[in-house]
Amino acid sequence: MLTELLQLDIFRFFLVFTRIGAALMLFPGLGGSLVSTRIRLLLALSIAFVMLPVVGGTFPRVPGTVGGIVLAIFGEAVIGIFLGTVIMIIMSTLNMAGSMIGYQTGLTNAFSFDPIAQQQSQLLTGFLSNIGLVAVFATDLHHLMFQAVFESYTLFPPGQPLQFGDYAETLGHLVTDTFKVGTQFAAPLVVFGLVFYTGLGLLSRLVPQLQVFFVGMPVQVMVGMWLFAVTLPLIVSLFLRFFESGLMPYVQPR
């Protein structure tokens, strides 16, 4: 009896660890390469250990075959990856907005390391990603990420068939919303870019001898950075609202 109970607890613990570990691997600020692999592993193990007494009762009995065990582990990993992907797509809103703003301010050739995309990106893209990540942790919205994983045991009970069609549809709608919101964040700079380049075109026609790009580039950078600094607080506050609203469907109302 003790041996069977021990095996059951180990099986449940490993399933909880699989879901939280797969999600944590994609969490912004926690799953990046800048965080030690040992730290990420210990964090996933500790969270799984805390969650096991609460969600352990939702798991079915231990499958009698190796194929059943592998299928159960695969299902938990898919759900964890789905939740982590949702959060990564929400965070990519700032990447899209930063790229569009960088093109309009003429800073596309300045690069820095982006902790969200885990690669070199435009200077303003990396800056917005860092600001957004700090704002998420400063306002304790990162608690929603872990709460979404905890509440997922109610939305996606272990052992149930995987709804790949629903997952794909949800991610498709989320990508659409992300593109729309990112464009709205960069809208003031996009309007400025259209007006500025239209003015440069007219100026080049009126004064053909004038080197318009030589004169216009400093003006573009200065005015663009000033406009970006003015709109930055609004961008961050709207992003935090979008981040919260994007995760609320996976959190049970209290």
pLDDT tens per residue across span 221-248:
888 888 888 888 999 999 999 998 888 8
Mark out the alpha helices in the chain (DSSP H runs).
Answer: 2-24, 37-55, 66-105, 123-138, 142-155, 164-206, 212-247
Distant-in-sequence, close-in-space partners of 23: CB < 8 Å, separation ≥ 6: 80, 81, 83, 84, 87, 145, 149
Q: What residues are paired with 112 via a beta bridge?
A: 121
Report the SS3 class of residue 117. coil
**What is the biggest distance separating any 2 CA atoms in the chain, rounded to whole angstroms?**
92
Tell the residue number behind the tokens 């703003």, with chain if given: 101
* pTM strictly above 0.85: no
Domain that holds residue 245: 2-250
What is the sign of the dihedral through the CA atoms of 46, 49, 54 and 58?
positive
Q: How many CB atoms lie within 10 A of CB 12?
A: 21
Tell me whether strands 111-114 and 119-122 are parallel, antiparallel or unpaired.
antiparallel
User: Average pLDDT in the 63-89 region?
Assistant: 85
pLDDT band at 142 (very low <50, low <70, confident <90, very high): confident
Q: What is the DSSP letter of 68?
A: H
User: For the chain, what is the domain count?
Assistant: 1
Please state, in angstroms and rounded to a whole number, the distance separating the CA atoms of residues 156 and 177. 23
**How confident is the model over 77-117, as pLDDT tens digits?**
898 899 989 998 998 898 888 888 888 776 666 555 555 55
How much is the mean pLDDT over the chain? 81
Are the beta carbons of 118 and 216 closer than 8 angstroms?
no
- Work out the percent of the chain whose per-residue pLDDT is above 90: 6
Task: State the Cα–Cα distance between residues 146 and 31, nearest whole angstrom.
Answer: 13
Mean pLDDT of all residues in 3-15: 66
For 65-102, b where at least 16 C-beta lie within 10 A, e where not — what string?
A: eeeeeeebbebbbbbbbbbbbbbebbbbbbbbbbbbbb
Cα separation, 148 vs 221, whole angstroms: 41
Amino acid sitting at position 51? M
Would you state the pLDDT for residue 8?
A: 52
